[in-house]
Amino acid sequence: MTTTSNSKTKTRKRFIAGAVCPQCKALDTLALWREDHVEVVECVKCGHHQRQTDEQVNKHVRPHEQVIGIFHPE
């Protein structure tokens, strides 16, 4: 969902329940949003960022399935 304020578009960040940050190992601190058709995941505790394009997500789609998003902690 997006909201418009002062002619800029802001994207609402969503938290990923049960996710663990790959860098600081904190639980329930990962926020997910989209920027320019790229999924961005950020840890609100340590600031770790990870980006994934739609093309990377589509590589993992099997026939007759839909993918909301894939997160690969490193």
Structure tokens at 23: 């860098």
The answer to whether the CB of 14 falls within 8 A of the CB of 32 is yes
Q: Is residue 2 part of a domain?
A: no
Tens digit of pLDDT for each residue in 46-64? 999 998 765 665 565 566 6
Question: How many domains does the chain fold into?
Answer: 1
What's the pTM? 0.58
Q: Is residue 11 part of a domain?
A: no
Q: Residue 37: which domain range?
A: 16-74
Tens digit of pLDDT for each residue in 11-60? 789 999 999 999 999 999 999 998 887 889 999 999 999 987 656 655 65
Q: Is residue 28 part of a domain?
A: yes
Question: 67: alpha, beta or left, given left = phi > 0 and alpha = psi -120 to 50?
Answer: beta
